[in-house]
């Protein structure tokens, strides 16, 4: 996994609460057996009018947001299905960090497993970012995972909370499986204990 330390990037907006993973990546695109190539189908039913034509009314499609790496959205983002295809699609499209007042549990967890940072801010702080992004074309945010701060050139500066262990893994690009396998001895002990208990 690629480490995530700092990011400075253009911000795009998705002004809806409760965005579910069916919207992030509709089911007809879940049949691939790779982790890549999902970006072209991100928010498919919203982004496209038909196969070849972008929906001009979908805010993210405006040219001012081209090249965005940070998505700012509303509460309960990523609810619904556990499909990891959702963070894969966001990542493949170019997003490296997502900012919202709250996230659904499985989605939140899935982001970290893929080197993408979900940042939870307060409702008012997210609202403030929305205002500034709409006011300033090309608006950028700096996301600093080391200092746990999110800021902008025009003076925004918010701190955010993130679980220490998750932060550590993301900063160092650590693979969970590798970490768990360091406890191989304990896993084996547990299994032995359990099988003895069931034979007793």
Partner 1 sequence: MFEKIWEAHVVHEELGKPSLIYIDRHLVHEVTSPQAFEGLRLAGRKVRRPDLTFATMDHNVPTTRRFLPIEDPISAQQMGTLSRNCKEFGITLFDLNSPLQGIVHVIGPELGITQPGMTLVCGDSHTSTHGAFGTLAFGVGTSEVEHVLATQCLLQDRPKTFLIQVNGKRPYGVEAKDIILSIIGQIGTGGGAGSVIEYAGDTIRELSMEERMTVCNMSIEGGARAGMIAPDKKTFAYLKGRQYSPVDFERAVETWKELASDSGAHFDRTLNIDAASLAPQVTWGTNPGQVVPVDSRVPSPVDFSDPNARKSAERALEYMALKAGTPITDIPIERVFIGSCTNSRVEDLRRVAQFIKGKHVSPKVYAMVVPGSQQVKRTAEKEGLDHLFREAGFDWRESGCSMCLGMNPDILKPGERCASTSNRNFEGRQGKGGRTHLVSPLMAAAAAIEGHFVDVRQYKLN
Cβ-contact 149, 160 below 8 angstroms: yes
Question: By CB under 8 A, is residue 61 in contact with partner 1?
Answer: no
Its sign, for the CA torsion 184, 190, 193, 195, is negative
Within 8 A by CB and 6+ apart from 191, the residues are none
What's the sign of the alpha-carbon dihedral 73, 16, 34, 181?
positive
Among 2, 3, 18, 131, binds partner 1 (CB under 8 A): 18
Distance separating alpha carbons of residues 76 and 49, to the nearest angstrom:
26
The piece of 16-24, 58-66, 137-145, 149-157 that touches partner 1 (CB under 8 A) is 16-24
Report how far residue 47's alpha carbon sits from residue 53's, in angstroms, rounded to the nearest whole number: 9
Shortest Cβ 183–partner 1 spacing (Å): 5
- The 88-127 contact track toward partner 1, x by CB under 8 A, reads --------------x-xxx--xx--xx-------------
The contact set with partner 1 (CB under 8 A) reads 15-18, 20, 22-23, 26-28, 30-35, 45, 74-76, 79-85, 87, 102, 104-106, 109-110, 113-114, 163-165, 176-177, 179-181, 183, 186-187, 190-191, 194
């Amino acid at each position: 996994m690629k480490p995530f330390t700092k990011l400075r990037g253009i911000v795009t907006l998705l002004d809806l609460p409760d965005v579910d993973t069916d919207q992030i990546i509709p089911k007809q695109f879940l049949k691939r057996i790779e982790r890549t190539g999902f970006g072209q189908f991100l928010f498919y039913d919203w982004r496209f009018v038909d196969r070849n034509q972008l929906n001009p009314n979908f805010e993210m499609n405006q040219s001012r947001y081209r090249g965005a790496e940070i998505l700012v959205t509303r509460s309960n983002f990523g609810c619904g299905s556990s499909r990891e295809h959702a963070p894969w699609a966001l990542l493949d499209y170019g997003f490296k960090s997502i900012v919202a007042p709250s996230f659904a549990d499985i989605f939140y967890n899935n982001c970290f497993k893929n080197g993408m940072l979900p940042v939870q801010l307060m409702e008012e702080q997210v609202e403030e970012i929305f205002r500034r992004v709409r006011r300033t074309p090309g608006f950028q945010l700096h996301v600093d995972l080391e200092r746990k701060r999110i800021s902008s050139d025009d003076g925004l500066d918010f701190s955010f909370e993130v679980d220490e262990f998750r932060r550590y893994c993301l900063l160092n690009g650590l693979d969970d499986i590798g970490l768990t396998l360091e406890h191989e001895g304990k896993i084996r002990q547990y299994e032995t204990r359990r099988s003895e208990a069931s034979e007793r």
